[in-house]
Amino acid sequence: MSLSTPVIAALSAVVVIGAGTVGGSIAYAHGQQAPIKTMATVTIGSSSQAFEPDPACYNGGKPLDDAANAACGKLSTQPTKFRSLPVKSGDLIGVGIDPDSAKNGWRAYTNGGGGQGNTQIAAYQKDTTFSGLVPAANVLTQSRDTSLTIIRFDPKTADSQKPGIIAVWFIDLQNNAFPPAPVQSQDGSQGQGQDPSQGQ
């Protein structure tokens, strides 16, 4: 039996793809960093953007230790270092998280909304991977920048008074219909930043 040229070409493509897959697996096995599977997705209007956790707020899938908690808390006070997305008051906003993170428990909130403190986009929940859509006007501040915080909890301590954290994402939602808020000076005597798990 002889093989036709198209069949030989197809088999060659399979061999090349298979070799590439094996090569990728070997690279990960030899100390190369595998892709991070912990992802959050922010949906604004009809577009979505996926993000890995902030490097200062991720410890390879293990709970953040004291040093990482301090670094993540410090980052929470530096919104100019957040990744940003454009938003309009008339948009709808939703947050999604990968299924493994959802099993552990997660929440998402902003520093906006009409009241004091934080406004929930997703209250603490398990197994649900998407918050649903909420009107942006309900969760934005009255200035250009609103901080969105997404937290994946450690399932072993998620129900405790001070839950452990596996990952945190900080996103700056930028509404260019408003001017930027005045820059406040950072007093070194102030704390190291808020504990993201304590946002209400």
Number of Cβ within 10 Å of residue 134's Cβ equals 19
Question: Is residue 5 located within the same domain as residue 21?
Answer: yes
Question: Is residue 97 located within the same domain as residue 75?
Answer: yes
Question: Is residue 107 located within the same domain as residue 143?
Answer: yes
Question: pLDDT tens for residues 71-104?
Answer: 999 999 999 999 999 999 999 999 999 999 999 8
Longest dimension (CA), the chain: 82
Question: pLDDT tens for residues 117-151?
Answer: 789 999 999 999 999 999 999 999 988 999 999 99
Assess if residue 9 is contained within a domain. yes
Question: Is residue 64 located within the same domain as residue 154?
Answer: yes
Question: Is residue 28 located within the same domain as residue 97?
Answer: no
Question: Is residue 10 located within the same domain as residue 100?
Answer: no
Number of Cβ within 10 Å of residue 81's Cβ equals 13
| Residue-range definition of the domain harbouring residue 161 | 40-180
The number of distinct structural domains making up the chain is: 2
DSSP-assigned letter for residue 32: P
Question: Is residue 94 located within the same domain as residue 76?
Answer: yes
Number of Cβ within 10 Å of residue 133's Cβ equals 15
Question: Is residue 73 located within the same domain as residue 165?
Answer: yes
- For residues 142 and 36, give the distance between their C-alpha atoms in angstroms, rounded to a whole number: 34
Parallel/antiparallel/unpaired status of strands 134-135 and 47-51: unpaired
Helix (H), strand (E) at residue 18: helix 5-29
Question: Is residue 20 located within the same domain as residue 61?
Answer: no
Question: Is residue 154 located within the same domain as residue 123?
Answer: yes
Q: Which of 80, 58, 84, 53 is nearest to 69 (CA)?
A: 58
Question: Is residue 24 located within the same domain as residue 89?
Answer: no
pTM, two decimal places: 0.74
